[in-house]
Chains A and B, each alone.
Chain A
C-alpha cells in the first residue's frame, strides 16, 4: 500500500500555515483565505479516500480491522532502547478522527470566508486555522507518545492564538491566557504520566506500550502492580495522570473553566474547538490507551467514568440558566464530552467494552451537530450583533434557513430519532444500562436536561415574540455561509445510520449490540417531555421563568454563577497560592538570591575600581613598579 499520501493529510494544512503566515501580506486577504481552504480541501479529499479505503476496501483482514503503521522513522535515537519515532498510525479511531477533523475544519474554513470578511487580520486567521488543523491531525496520527505530546502542545498553542484572536479586547486576551494556563497545568500531569507509563512499559512507542502493558504474559506487569501508593498501583497513577492531561483539554470538571471563556474567539473557531479539534483530544487520548486502561487499571476507568458522568450533568445544569447563546453551547459541549468520557470509563466495571464504540460514535455525531449548532449560532450573532438570547426572538421568519438547520441540530443533540445524536446517545445509554445503573440514571437525566436547554435556546432565538433589528440586509448570508450549514445539516440527519459497531471497535472486530427497548423508549420519552416543557415555558413571552427564578432563589443564583467554580479558583490562586507560596518565594528570590548575586558583583566592582589606576598607560610608571619589585626580590634572595 503506497502510504505517502497519508503524510500529506497533516502536511498540507502545515504548508498552508507556513505559506500564508509568511507571504500572506503580499497578496490580497481573499486569496490567502481561498488558498488555505484549497489546501484543506485536498487534505479532506485524501482523508475521505483513506477512510473509504480503510473501512470498505483494504482495512479489514479476515473481518478484523488491522492497525498499520504506513510511515515510521526514528527521529531521535538516544540509545538503542530509547528511540523517539515519528510516524503515522492507521487504525479505526485514527482514520475516523482524520475524517472528522478535516471535514469540520473544511466547513469552518468555507464558513469563515464570509463570517470573517473585512477583518484586519484575515490572512493571519487562516494561517492559524491551518496550524490548528495540522496540530490536531499530527496528534491523531501519532505513533509515539512523545509525538503525541508534541501534537498535544501544538493544539494548545494554536487554540491560544485563535481564542486570543481579537487581541485588542481584554476579555479575549484573558480567556486565551486562562485556556492556555489551565491546559498547561493539566499537561504537566500528562507529562508525568507519560514518564511513569513509558518507564513501566519500557518504551515510548504506543503500539509497543500497548502490547507490553495489556497482556497478562507481559514481563513488567506484576512488580509495579504489587507496589502501591494510596491503594493505587504506580501504573494506575501514571494512567490517572495521563487522564488528567486529557481532562484538561477535554474540559472535564474541575478543569472545565476555560471552555466557556474560550467563546471570546471568533465563532467559527469555537465550532472548530468544540466539534473537532481541541476538546475531543482528551477523549482520543483515553481511547488511544484504552487497552492499557482496560487491562491494567480498571480502577482508573471507574474514576474516568465518574468524572465524565458528573461533568455531564453538572455542565447540563449550568447550561439551563445561561443567557449567552455561545455559553449555552459551550456548556452543552462540556456535557456531551462528559458523555463520551463516561462511555469510555464504563469498561472499568468489566461487563463489556462496547462503551468504546459508543464513545467514538458519539464523538463523530457530536462533531457534526455541534459544528452545525455553532455555525448557525454564528449566523445569528452575525446578523443580530449580540450574543444574548434576551435580545433575540421571532427570527424564524427572517432567517428561515438558519432556523431549519438549527432545529435539525437541536433535534440531533436532544436525541430524537432519526437524527444522528439519537443513535450514538442511545448506544451510550444502552452500555451504561448494562454496566452501571447509577451512571445510566445520570445519563438519562442529562439527556432530558440537554433537550430542555437546547430547546430553550431554540425557542428563545426563533419563536419568542420580540422586535429584532437585523443589522445586515440579507439574513441568509452568502453562499459560503449557507453551504456548510446545509452540508452539516445533512450530516446531522444521516450520520446516525453509519454502522459504527461494525467499523470502530476496541479490537477491530465487529460487535453485536442489541438495542435495549427500555433504554430506547426511556431516552425518547424523556427528550420529548423535556422539549414540551421547554416549549411550554419559552415558546411565548410569559412569566414562568421569572417565577421559577424567584421560587428557586439561592439555588438559581448558585447555578447561574456556575457553582462559583471560577471564584473558588480565584480564591485558591489569589488568596492561598499567591500569599502563602508566591510571596515568600518572591521575597527569597528578591532579598536572598538576588542580593547574594549583587554582593558578588559589588565586591568585584569595588576591587576593580581600586586597582584600575595601576594601569595608567605610562610605561615609565610600569617600569618603576617593575624595577621596584625586582629590587625587593633581590633583597629577599640576598637576605635568605
Chain B
C-alpha cells in the first residue's frame, strides 16, 4: 500500500486543486463554478487524508477534518443552489459575467 510515494498523491491533489481553480475562473455557468469549487474542496480533503496517513499514522485528526469538510460542503452546496435559483429569478441568467450588480 505504501508503494505509492507521497509526492505522487500530492501531485494528483495539486492537479485537482488547479483544475478546480481554472474551472472557477473560466466557467460561465454558476453551477459549473460551484462544481469547480467542490473540486478544490476535494483536493483539500485528499491532502488531509494523505498527510494523516503518511506522516501521522495511527491518529484520526485528518479524517475528522475531512468529514467536517464534506458535511460543510454539502450544506454549502444546498445554499449555493438556492442562491443560484434566486439569481436566476432576478436576472434570467446564471452567468457570473452578467450577475454583477450585487456589488451595490
Residues in chain A within 8 A of chain B (CB atoms)? 615-620, 623-624, 627
Closest 5 CB pairs of A and B: A617-B100, A617-B103, A620-B25, A620-B96, A624-B25
B24 and A616 contacting across the interface, CB-CB below 8 Å: no
User: Which A residue's beta carbon lies closest to that of B102?
Assistant: A617
B103 and A616 contacting across the interface, CB-CB below 8 Å: yes
Min C-beta distance of B98 to chain A, whole Å: 9
Determine which of A615, A618, A627 lies in contact with B96 in the assembled complex, contact meaning CB atoms within 8 Å.
Answer: A618
Determine which of A617, A620, A624 lies in contact with B101 in the assembled complex, contact meaning CB atoms within 8 Å.
Answer: A617
| Distance in angstroms between the alpha carbons of A437 and B97 in the assembled complex | 100
| Distance in angstroms between the alpha carbons of A597 and B67 in the assembled complex | 58
Min C-beta distance of A186 to chain B, whole Å: 57
- Total B residues in contact with A, Cβ cutoff 8 Å: 12
| Inter-chain contacts of A618 with B (CB < 8 A) | 96-97, 100
Task: Other than A618-B96, A619-B96, A623-B24, give 15 A-B pairs with Cβ distance below 8 A.
Answer: A615-B103, A616-B103, A617-B100, A617-B102, A617-B103, A618-B97, A618-B100, A620-B24, A620-B26, A620-B33, A620-B96, A620-B97, A623-B25, A624-B25, A627-B25
Min C-beta distance of A22 to chain B, whole Å: 45
| Distance in angstroms between the alpha carbons of A618 and B101 in the assembled complex | 9
| Distance in angstroms between the alpha carbons of A617 and B98 in the assembled complex | 9
| Distance in angstroms between the alpha carbons of A200 and B9 in the assembled complex | 91
Q: Is B77 an interface residue (CB 8 A)?
A: no
Q: Write the B8-42 contact mask toward A (1 if CB under 8 angstroms, else 0).
A: 00000000000001001110000001000000000
| Distance in angstroms between the alpha carbons of A535 and B36 in the assembled complex | 115
| Distance in angstroms between the alpha carbons of A617 and B100 in the assembled complex | 4
| Distance in angstroms between the alpha carbons of A615 and B21 in the assembled complex | 21
Min C-beta distance of A616 to chain B, whole Å: 6
| Inter-chain contacts of A615 with B (CB < 8 A) | 103
A627 and B21 contacting across the interface, CB-CB below 8 Å: yes
| Inter-chain contacts of A627 with B (CB < 8 A) | 21, 25
| Inter-chain contacts of B24 with A (CB < 8 A) | 620, 623
Name 20 interchain pairs, CB-CB below 8 A, sorted by A: A615-B103, A616-B100, A616-B103, A617-B99, A617-B101, A617-B102, A618-B96, A618-B97, A618-B100, A619-B33, A619-B96, A620-B24, A620-B33, A620-B96, A620-B97, A623-B24, A623-B25, A624-B25, A627-B21, A627-B25
| Distance in angstroms between the alpha carbons of A259 and B96 in the assembled complex | 77
| Distance in angstroms between the alpha carbons of A619 and B27 in the assembled complex | 11
Min C-beta distance of A280 to chain B, whole Å: 66
Min C-beta distance of B50 to chain A, whole Å: 20
Q: Give the contacts of B72-104 with A (CB-CB under 8 A).
A: 96-97, 99-103
| Inter-chain contacts of A623 with B (CB < 8 A) | 21, 24-25
Min C-beta distance of A635 to chain B, whole Å: 16
| Distance in angstroms between the alpha carbons of A617 and B103 in the assembled complex | 5
Min C-beta distance of B21 to chain A, whole Å: 6
| Inter-chain contacts of B103 with A (CB < 8 A) | 615-617
| Inter-chain contacts of B99 with A (CB < 8 A) | 617
| Distance in angstroms between the alpha carbons of A123 and B89 in the assembled complex | 63
| Inter-chain contacts of B97 with A (CB < 8 A) | 618, 620
| Inter-chain contacts of A617 with B (CB < 8 A) | 99-103
| Inter-chain contacts of A616 with B (CB < 8 A) | 100, 103
Min C-beta distance of A634 to chain B, whole Å: 12
| Inter-chain contacts of A620 with B (CB < 8 A) | 24-26, 33, 96-97
| Inter-chain contacts of B25 with A (CB < 8 A) | 620, 623-624, 627
User: Which B residue's beta carbon lies closest to that of A627?
Assistant: B21
| Distance in angstroms between the alpha carbons of A620 and B97 in the assembled complex | 8
| Distance in angstroms between the alpha carbons of A619 and B83 in the assembled complex | 14
Min C-beta distance of A621 to chain B, whole Å: 9
| Inter-chain contacts of A619 with B (CB < 8 A) | 33, 96
Min C-beta distance of A537 to chain B, whole Å: 87
| Distance in angstroms between the alpha carbons of A219 and B70 in the assembled complex | 87
| Distance in angstroms between the alpha carbons of A617 and B21 in the assembled complex | 19
| Inter-chain contacts of B101 with A (CB < 8 A) | 617
User: Which B residue's beta carbon lies closest to that of A624?
Assistant: B25
| Distance in angstroms between the alpha carbons of A618 and B102 in the assembled complex | 9
User: Which A residue's beta carbon lies closest to that of B104?
Assistant: A617
| Inter-chain contacts of B26 with A (CB < 8 A) | 620
| Distance in angstroms between the alpha carbons of A618 and B24 in the assembled complex | 12
Min C-beta distance of B11 to chain A, whole Å: 17
| Inter-chain contacts of B102 with A (CB < 8 A) | 617
Min C-beta distance of B18 to chain A, whole Å: 10
| Distance in angstroms between the alpha carbons of A619 and B28 in the assembled complex | 11
Min C-beta distance of A625 to chain B, whole Å: 11
Min C-beta distance of B95 to chain A, whole Å: 10
